[in-house]
Amino acid sequence: MQQITRSSPSRQRPDQGRCSLPGIDNQPSTSPRNDAELAAAAGGNSRMQLYSRTSARSAGAPAGASASVDWTLPQRTLNRKAYVRVGDFARMTLVQDDLARKAEAQRQLDEAARKRSTLAMFDTQMAVVNQRRAEEREARRRAQLDMDEHIRQFQASEEERLARERATQEGLRDFYSSQIQELHTRQREEAEEREREHAAERAQVEAEARAERARLEALARENTVLRERIKRELNDALAAKAAAKAAQVAEEGRYNREYMAKMDADEAARRRAVEMRAEKMRRAFERGGGAALQASLEEQARLDAARAERLAAEAEAVAAEKERRDRERRRRDAEETMRTLEEQIAAKQAERAAAAEAAVKLREEMTAAEKAAKEAREVQKMERRRQQADSFAAQKAAVAEQRRRRFEEYRDPVEERYRWLHAAPMAGTQRAFNNLAVPEGKAAMLASMTL
């Protein structure tokens, strides 16, 4: 409320009725002597009085005259210059001064009346303004109560909606938890099933490997036995062949010896025959007397001996060549037999190696297929998780958008000129509709504002 201060009345005297004679001051005189002289001049036989508070009351002055006097100033002052107190001019001056004082007193009375009327009018206007402001405050209070009730209802509806959403989210969370638990259970069962399958496969592979090793060991033992048996048979055959050959050689030696003995016997018989013939021929020669026959017989004997030696050497060479060919043939037969046996063993080993390589390749293919299936399951799981995350994010965005939309629906539109008032509650930094949220220095403007 604007405070009206009462200013002190002006002490300047109006120019109305003022004397403008030269040599006479236009200032009014407040000396008691001047007052007495003025009274004597004006009233003739009137009694002289001093212009003071007591004299004014005792002289029967009006009540309004004493009320208009400024009591903060002294009532008796000294004249600032000397006055001529004789003559008409002095009397005229005193009269003019008295008129000026009366005019000033009347002006002060009029000013006081004007101020009282102004104060009365201002009090009336302030009463109207206060009544209007009280009505506005009551209207704002009712509007605030209505707004609080609306906010309470909105908060209650929001709490109910949030409770429903929380129940829905808890249901969804339980549903997702059950699905995740079921998925984990299924994955654990699948992992256990895969572990059992892998264990069974490993056991089967190990059993097959053990069986293969046992078969290879048995085959190696069989091959060893077969090799030993073949070696024994070959050795026996070679021994039999050697024995047969030895028997044959012995038989041939016997035959050769018999043949040589026969040859020796024949040679001895021939020699005896030759000797007998030589003796006979010698006797005949001696009887016939020819030396040429003797030389011919000696030559014939020499030729026969050379022929016999040549035939014996040829027979020995033929026997040695035959023995060499037999040994070479037996060696080739033994090498062919060993080569055939080694080829059979190598074929068996190549077949087993091919079977083992096929088994390893099959296991590698099964491992690669299992790894690819596992990677595909991981990709599907990641895709399913991503879809679930996207769905959850979409649900959260939908819930946030629904909250924002409901808040926008329930919120009254704020005018641009009042947006600063609701900036803090709208930003969430202060509570809405709280007297503590009124900015500093805005209370007077808010009190005069019609919302």
Q: What is the pLDDT of residue 415?
A: 65
6: helix, coil or strand?
A: coil
Does residue 129 sit in the same domain as residue 215?
no
CB 85 within 8 A of CB 37: yes
Tell me the torsion sign for CA atoms 178, 183, 186, 187. negative
Does residue 258 sit in the same domain as residue 356?
yes
Does residue 128 sit in the same domain as residue 235?
no
Tell me the torsion sign for CA atoms 17, 22, 27, 33. negative
Distance CA 387, CA 390 (A): 5
Distance CA 237, CA 242 (A): 8
What confidence tens digit (pLDDT) does each residue in 240-278 have?
A: 877 777 777 777 777 777 777 777 777 777 777 777 777
Does residue 222 sit in the same domain as residue 361?
yes
Q: What is the pLDDT of residue 223?
A: 76
* Residue at 185 is within a domain: no
- When divided into structural domains, the chain yields a total of 2
Closest alpha carbon to 65 in 113, 105, 111: 105
Q: Which residues of the chain have pLDDT under 70?
A: 1-91, 281-282, 284-294, 297, 409-415, 422, 425-428, 430-451
Check residue 310 and report its DSSP letter.
H
Does residue 223 sit in the same domain as residue 122?
no
Q: What is the pLDDT of residue 192?
A: 86
Record the tokens describing residue 258, joined without a space.
């018999």
What confidence tens digit (pLDDT) does each residue in 394-442 have?
A: 888 888 888 787 777 666 556 677 777 767 766 667 655 544 445 555 5
Record the tokens describing residue 382, joined without a space.
């990641």
Q: What is the pLDDT of residue 140?
A: 87
What pTM, to 2 d.p., does this model score? 0.25
Record the tokens describing residue 236, joined without a space.
């026996």
CB 328 within 8 A of CB 245: no
How many residues make up the chain in this entry? 451
Return the amino acid letter for 330: R
* Residue at 155 is within a domain: no
Q: What is the pLDDT of residue 106?
A: 94
CB 257 within 8 A of CB 265: no
Does residue 360 sit in the same domain as residue 217?
yes
Record the tokens describing residue 274, joined without a space.
């030759």
Q: What is the pLDDT of residue 446?
A: 52
Last residue of a domain, one of 380, 407, 437: 380
Q: What is the pLDDT of residue 47?
A: 40
Q: What one-character-per-residue DSSP string does 29-92 give? A: P--HHHHHHHHHHHHSSPPP---SHHHHHHTT--HHHHHTS-TTS-S----SS----SSHHHHH
C-alpha torsion angle, residues 163, 164, 167, 172 (rounded to 10)? -140
For residue 239, the enclosing domain spans 210-380
Q: What one-character-per-residue DSSP string does 314-335 give? A: HHHHHHHHHHHHHHHHHHHHHH
Does residue 105 sit in the same domain as residue 237?
no
Distance CA 451, CA 447 (A): 10
Does residue 347 sit in the same domain as residue 215?
yes
Quick one: residue 441, left, alpha or beta (phi over 0 = left, psi -120 to 50 = alpha)?
left
* Residue at 433 is within a domain: no
Record the tokens describing residue 154, joined without a space.
């909105």
Record the tokens describing residue 338, joined without a space.
């060993």
Burial of 361 (C-beta count, 10 Å sphere; 0-12/13-18/19+)? exposed
Does residue 221 sit in the same domain as residue 360?
yes
H or E element that contains 410 = helix 291-410
* Residue at 52 is within a domain: yes
Residue 10 has phi, psi (to 5 degrees) of -70, 135
Does residue 371 sit in the same domain as residue 223?
yes
Record the tokens describing residue 131, joined without a space.
């009544």
Distance CA 271, CA 297 (A): 12
Does residue 228 sit in the same domain as residue 113?
no
Question: CB under 8 Å, gap of 24 or more: what pairs does 271-279 form?
Answer: 274/301
Record the tokens describing residue 169, joined without a space.
């989210």
* Residue at 9 is within a domain: no
Last residue of a domain, one of 327, 361, 380: 380
* Residue at 62 is within a domain: yes
Q: What is the pLDDT of residue 114?
A: 92
How far is residue 432 from each of residues 138, 151, 158, 422, measured CA to CA in Å? 20, 9, 15, 8
* Residue at 373 is within a domain: yes
Does residue 227 sit in the same domain as residue 342?
yes
Q: At CA 161, angle to CA 396 and CA 430, rounded to 5?
A: 80
**147-178 burial string, b = 16+ CB within 10 Å, else e?**
beeeeeebeeebeeeeeeeeeeeeeeeeeeee
* Residue at 27 is within a domain: no
Taking only Cα atoms into account, the Rg of the chain, rounded to an integer number of angstroms, comes to: 81
Last residue of a domain, one of 109, 138, 167: 138
